[in-house]
Amino acid sequence: MTFLLIAACLVLSEVYPNPVGPESGAGSAGDCREYVELFNTCSLAVDASDYHLADNAETDSLVPFPDNTILQFHNVMLGTTEIPPRSFALVLDPEYASPACQTHPLLPVEPGVVVLGVLDTDLGNGLSSVDTLRLLDPGGEVDRVGPLDAPEGRSLERWSLDETVWMVSDSLSPGGWNTVSREVDPVIVDFAVRGSLVVRVMERGYTGGTVRVALEVRWAVVAEDSASLNPLDTVELILPLTEVQPWAAGKVILRREEAVRETAVYFPSPTEGVRISEILPDGTVEWVELANLTPDTVDLAGAVLRDRSGVESGLFPAYRLSPSDVVVVTGDSAAFRSRWGEAPVLVPEGGKMPVLNNTSEALMLVFPGSVVMDSVGYDEAPGYDRSLVRTSPTGSEKPQNRP
């Protein structure tokens, strides 16, 4: 791999071109939550007013952020374009703090960061997947990244602040150190439950070494493997499942030196699991109820609902569902409670839900590791604000109509 070293003090360090939600239109996610992060690599302060940002269509001057309303939401530095040495600055859409933008979740902005704006109403001409973003000083281009082809809700982060290696981040870090830049940072890319447990691990940091992956079920390690891992490389480790009984809930544990990461894994059985127990596909607000039939409390973090066409909900947040309990998954908790009253509610990331057609639909509950925990289909919606109820959560029969 060839690295291009950056000589300028100010560099691009993170770009968020594809927020969760509509891409265009007044008050859309793309009109409110895009951002560009800059980093001053030098030991002296840098005045960003001497710099410009350019996408494929427009060039923007950098100015102090124009709306003090942002201080109601974030403890940031306004009124200056000077970036302290070895510090970040955040360029936000000027409409970020406007009332029209408050329907979108706030960014996890690092306290104390310098926030900048641009002279018009958006960054470039609105950042898109085909854009190349360039940072210009009075002498010309000093840095670039592109195309800005990041998945919805994920940012592009610089792996090293003095090299042009960019990676898709698992989480946003506006105004803070990039999540892909840690010195020791092995991560589980994905895993799949087949005849064996296949785990792919990537080293996103600067230092390689030996990684060890273990499968723990009911507090006992039942399988493990290790491999050598170099920076930016990916390895695949295969763990046998001969000692895993359906139903079982376990952990995939990744270790390298002091770094330890864990993620939940589930092995469904025909009679136990988390099941889709009720669906309302046509009404004031659509929703899906889940029931936990397992003997364990199950963390729903990272699960999704997927429809027949492959459209998925946002990732489920951390939510511990106790045995025999239920939770309603919906894109709008306030609208749900306004119509249906108090109930345990889970809102996927960005409020995104799959399409629940009124003619016919198939719905899957997919857990991390591509584990299809449950699936159910229906031939028609029962009518406005009427739900479909699964009469036997352990069976495969079609859900029944219920007012």
Considering the domain architecture, whether residues 356 and 280 belong to the same structural domain is answered as: yes
Cα–Cα distance for residue pair 204/206, rounded to 1 Å: 7
pLDDT for residue 317: 92
Considering the domain architecture, whether residues 141 and 14 belong to the same structural domain is answered as: yes
Considering the domain architecture, whether residues 200 and 139 belong to the same structural domain is answered as: no
Under a CB-based contact definition with an 8 Å cutoff, are residues 133 and 53 in contact?
Answer: yes
Within-domain flag for 56: yes
- Establish how many alpha carbons lie within 13 A of residue 95's alpha carbon, considering only the half-sphere containing its beta carbon: 21
Task: Report how many domains make up the chain.
Answer: 3
Ramachandran assignment for 180, one of left (phi > 0), alpha (psi -120 to 50 degrees), beta (any other): alpha
Considering the domain architecture, whether residues 84 and 129 belong to the same structural domain is answered as: yes
Partners of 193 in the β-ladder: 197
Which of these three, 111, 141, 168, is where a domain ends?
A: 168
Considering the domain architecture, whether residues 244 and 326 belong to the same structural domain is answered as: no
Within-domain flag for 157: yes
Considering the domain architecture, whether residues 263 and 233 belong to the same structural domain is answered as: yes
CATH code at 391? 2.60.40
* 141-198 confidence digits (pLDDT tens): 999 998 999 999 999 999 876 677 898 987 899 998 887 765 445 556 566 666 778 8
Amino acid at position 268, single letter: P
Give the 3-state secondary structure percentages of the chain, helix then strand then coil, rounded to 5. 5, 40, 50
Which domain range does residue 146 map to?
A: 10-168
* 318-344 confidence digits (pLDDT tens): 999 999 999 999 999 999 999 999 999
Considering the domain architecture, whether residues 140 and 200 belong to the same structural domain is answered as: no
Average pLDDT of the residues in 75-86: 92
pLDDT for residue 6: 45
Considering the domain architecture, whether residues 17 and 160 belong to the same structural domain is answered as: yes
pLDDT for residue 181: 67
Query: Which residue, among 10, 93, 91, has the nearest Cα to 51 in the 3D structure?
Result: 10
Q: How confident is the model at residue 68 (pLDDT cuts 50, 70, 90)?
A: very high
Considering the domain architecture, whether residues 74 and 199 belong to the same structural domain is answered as: no
Residue 215 pLDDT exceeds 70: yes
CA angle 14, 15, 19 (to 5 degrees): 130
Phi then psi dihedrals of residue 48, to 5 deg? -75, -10
Considering the domain architecture, whether residues 398 and 282 belong to the same structural domain is answered as: yes
pLDDT above 70: percentage of residues in the chain: 89
Within-domain flag for 179: no
Which of these three, 232, 267, 302, is where a domain ends?
A: 267
Residue 396 pLDDT exceeds 70: no
pLDDT for residue 3: 35
Residue 56 pLDDT exceeds 80: yes
Within-domain flag for 31: yes
Considering the domain architecture, whether residues 36 and 120 belong to the same structural domain is answered as: yes
DSSP conformation class of 266: E
Within-domain flag for 175: no
Distances, alpha carbon 41 to alpha carbons 79, 128, 233, 243, 259, in Å: 22, 27, 26, 52, 27
Cα–Cα distance for residue pair 116/81, rounded to 1 Å: 7
CATH code at 229? 2.60.40.10
Within-domain flag for 1: no
SS3 (DSSP) at 199: strand
pLDDT for residue 80: 95
Cα–Cα distance for residue pair 99/128, rounded to 1 Å: 24
Residue of higher predicted confidence among 210 and 291: 291
Which of these three, 267, 283, 312, is where a domain ends?
A: 267
What's the farthest any 2 CA atoms get from each other in the chain? 70
Q: Give the burial class of 199: count Cβ atoms within 10 A of its Cβ; 0-12 exposed, 13-18 middle, 19 or more buried.
A: buried
Within-domain flag for 174: no
Within-domain flag for 176: no
Average pLDDT of the residues in 89-97: 93
Considering the domain architecture, whether residues 97 and 210 belong to the same structural domain is answered as: no
Residue of higher predicted confidence among 89 and 170: 89
